[in-house]
Amino acid sequence: MDSETTAQQSLEVADRLFKSIERGDVAAIRSAVYAPNAKIWHNNDGQTQTVEQNLAVLGWVVANIGEIAYTDVRRQATPAGFVQQHVLRGKLKSSGKEFSLPACIVCEVENGRITRLDEYLDSAHTAALR
């Protein structure tokens, strides 16, 4: 974490990220959460996404999952940003079936924006989305 980003600022950007997803406000993630050149990596496919690629995925998520909520949240600041464990919950809009996905997010934050996000999840929990 650079000298311009405090632990409190890192936790505030975490709060903005997850509240934006819960609201379905993908535009807010672009404008107030991600740095323009942020990299988003997922353990389930080993791929690194650009901001635009990730926002497209998040757009699909909010279009297809209703009642999105992050539960069982454990979050703490780190020297480089923050780490959060949670369960993403919602209902599939197509079937009304409840969905849950335990995950861990490790983020690097600079100047109040996420510059890198690494997401760890068990892909077996995403089967309901395919």
Question: Is residue 14 a contact partner of residue 84, using CB atoms and an 8 Å limit?
Answer: yes
pTM, rounded to two decimals = 0.91
pLDDT tens-digit map of 19-71? 999 999 999 999 999 999 999 999 989 999 999 999 999 999 999 999 999 99
When divided into structural domains, the chain yields a total of 1
pLDDT tens-digit series, residues 70-125: 999 999 999 999 999 999 999 999 999 999 999 999 999 999 999 999 999 987 77
| 112 neighbors 9 (Cβ within 8 angstroms) | yes
Residue numbers of the domain that contains 69 = 7-129
- Does the residue 1 lie in any domain? no
Q: Is residue 48 part of a domain?
A: yes
Q: Which stretches of the chain are DSSP H helices? A: 7-23, 26-32, 51-64
Query: How many angstroms from the chain centroid is the CA of residue 46?
Result: 16
- Look up the CATH number of the domain holding residue 66: 3.10.450.50
